[in-house]
Structure 1
């Protein structure tokens, strides 16, 4: 028996499978050997945020860290925040009496945070020197904005990396 005939015989003995494909819009399809059928219940290929994360974390005096959900006027007022630093994603709504700054920064490993820090640190310093509270946020508040706050703590507050990281993590 040739190698090709041997492979074909083994292929016929394989157990049939079903593959589920989820499109960007949440539609799901079941694919078998013979057909592709849309499944009734859509399932998103990402986690749907059903509850806003609108509680900023106080890192040190005057510096708060959070997600874009913290940009709500009620939250800003509750925490006395008058400066908002948006990293990679602009504040969804901008309110009067709040000073805003947007810094472009993609959430990618190859993004150069040194460039972002050079734009962010003067804005954070300005807020803290005026004894004003500042919210530093990105989309979810778990990658870009904490990195910027860690950088600020190292470069301005002169903390070691470990102390800055632990301060933000706490």
Structure 2
């Protein structure tokens, strides 16, 4: 167990056992980032498990939060960083905090690095270096570092409205789908026809896409995802030999690519690919393909939720 900042410690599973078996250490908050915990740890029953982890008091003087993370490339830590940070802040206000995983190398290091980045506005490199000066073995896996880089790009804040986050979120949905897991509709963006507040200043400055036939809103500018690859974190690519992929700028995109939304019934039904039909009049607006598709400009987008411009009108009202 090594002290990173006053009252903030990083450690491994053995350190957590020491904390659970003694009161001499001064730890009041224990953040556990491991795949599973033994029954002897007194984990609450399943009805207490939420998307924000499992929180309980295994001892009168100790508050514990468990997030069942795997040390894998598929693990999404970005969505839980604020939960971890809030727990650390709470612990430091009332005592001392131990952040641990199995070996104290990857998962716990990722959270502590992220916390230092937010607390001291350090770059990913500087925060990593600061932690390694205390714990030389600290080394988050590449996927965790990539997510921390996105955290840095978003200004040390997990901003779920930013394009950076939306592209990351879509990539993670694609990974889940590729693994054969169910993608819940709650993971999709809200229906803009139901969510956009009409006649407000925000709407007047936001581009709205409407079905040409029935005028239903099918997307807003906030739902559109750029083709341009940002820092290598979104799976888009150019076909090197395709004449449409030149840099002349003369080829215009005939479609927009958007995040999956809750009006997309065919997507919610679980197909790999299919048509995207207007929820108002059922006219075809485009298509989707979890394996990706190519835009008229030559860019491949993976996964792809494509709406044809010819089937919609775009305006700021």
Q: What TM-score do you get using the length of structure 2 for normalisation?
A: 0.34
Deviation at 1:145, TM superposition (A): 0.4
SS of the aligned residue for 2:23 comes to helix
- CA-based RMSD: 2.0
30, 37, 49: which one pairs with 1:84? 30
SS of the aligned residue for 1:106 comes to coil
When the two structures are aligned, how many residues end up with a matched partner? 114
- The answer as to 2:7 corresponding to 1:62 is yes
CA distance in structure 2 between the aligned counterparts of 1:73 and 1:154, rounded to whole angstroms: 26
Residue in structure 1 matched with residue 99 of structure 2 by the alignment:
136
Residue in structure 2 matched with residue 51 of structure 1 by the alignment:
none
Following superposition of structure 1 onto structure 2, how do residues 28-43 of structure 1 map, counting pairs within 5 Å?
none
SS of the aligned residue for 1:111 comes to coil
**Structure 1 residue runs without a partner (length 5+):** 1-55
Write out per-residue CA displacement over residues 16-36 of structure 1, whole angstroms, 9 at most, x where no aligned residue: xxxxxxxxxxxxxxxxxxxxx
CA distance in structure 1 between the aligned counterparts of 2:110 and 2:19, rounded to whole angstroms: 25
Residue in structure 2 matched with residue 109 of structure 1 by the alignment:
73
126, 146, 149: which one pairs with 1:163? 126
The answer as to whether partners of 1:150 and 1:164 remain within 8 angstroms in 2 is yes
The answer as to whether partners of 1:65 and 1:145 remain within 8 angstroms in 2 is yes
The answer as to whether partners of 2:19 and 2:25 remain within 8 angstroms in 1 is no
Query: Aligned pair in 2 of structure 1 residues 164, 75: CA closer, same or farther (>3 Å)?
Result: farther
Q: What TM-score do you get using the length of structure 1 for normalisation?
A: 0.60
Deviation at 1:147, TM superposition (A): 0.5
Deviation at 1:166, TM superposition (A): 1.3
Structure showing greater radius of gyration is 1
Query: Aligned pair in 2 of structure 1 residues 76, 155: CA closer, same or farther (>3 Å)?
Result: farther
The answer as to whether partners of 2:19 and 2:27 remain within 8 angstroms in 1 is no
CA distance in structure 1 between the aligned counterparts of 2:29 and 2:22, rounded to whole angstroms: 9
Deviation at 1:119, TM superposition (A): 1.7
The answer as to whether partners of 1:73 and 1:95 remain within 8 angstroms in 2 is no
The answer as to whether partners of 1:65 and 1:136 remain within 8 angstroms in 2 is yes
